[in-house]
Amino acid sequence: MMSFSTKNYLLFSFAILLITLGVYFWKFEKSRHTSREVVFIAIICALAVVGRIIFAAIPSVKPELFILIMGAIVTGPETGFLMGTIIALTSNMYFGQGVWTPWQMFALGVIGLISGICFQKRPRTWILTIWGLVSGFLMGWIMDIYYIIGFVDPITVKSILTSIAASFYFDFVHGLFTAVLLLLVGKRWIQIFNNYKVKYNLFDKKS
């Protein structure tokens, strides 16, 4: 397992990543987004990246999930997935790239995808708040898979539970911070993003 991690894991991870992103970008190109829509996507990603960097000194207290969820609700699931991957890749230019980057891209992409699928019809605040908490754990669990596959030897039920338990505090803080933001200002951000969307006639066709 460790031999696989050190010799082949990076290549394997990026191969999966390129396939996943390749499918999306093909669909993104086919959907013919306008330049204003691309700018809107870039703004949301930039806000999330800046937010993650500003809070870098405080472990797990990061607003990128909150901003990603808001953006995905307004733009749709596929664009939500794209924004998640861009946020992870771009912010890691500051935090450092590595074999973990594709997993972070996938984790944030999945959260954006689920947010876009489940919450496009005026979600209730309490449901959004619960999803914020769950999203912190979801990202943590995906990153736990990366850690277990790459660095845990042997892989047993005990070692898996130990790895998950070790990250529980950080996942909880990440999810709790996201949930609090969604509870306090989530509806307001959705309204702001939707106003911009309506004003410039963006994403008429769900992406």
Whether the pLDDT of residue 4 is over 70: the answer is no
Q: What is the CA radius of gyration of the chain?
A: 17
Q: d(Cα 111, Cα 71) in Å, to the nearest integer?
A: 11
Contact 73, 120 (CB under 8 A): yes
- Helices and strands of the chain, counted as H and E runs: 8, 0
CA-based nearest residue to 171, from 56, 89, 59: 59
Burial of 83 (0-12, 13-18, 19+ CB in 10 A): buried
Q: d(Cα 134, Cα 170) in Å, to the nearest integer?
A: 13
Contacts of 100 (CB under 8 A, 6+ apart): 143, 146
% of the chain residues with pLDDT over 90: 39
Contact 55, 62 (CB under 8 A): yes
Residue 127 binned pLDDT confidence (cut-offs 50, 70, 90): very high
Whether the pLDDT of residue 184 is over 80: the answer is yes
Domain ranges (residues) in the chain: 2-199
What is the CA angle 156-157-159, rounded to 5? 65
In this prediction the pTM is 0.85
> What is the per-residue pLDDT across 155-164, written as a single tens digit (0 to 9) for each?
889 989 999 9
Q: d(Cα 203, Cα 73) in Å, to the nearest integer?
A: 11
CATH class of 2-199: mainly alpha
User: What confidence score (pLDDT) does residue 144 get?
Assistant: 92
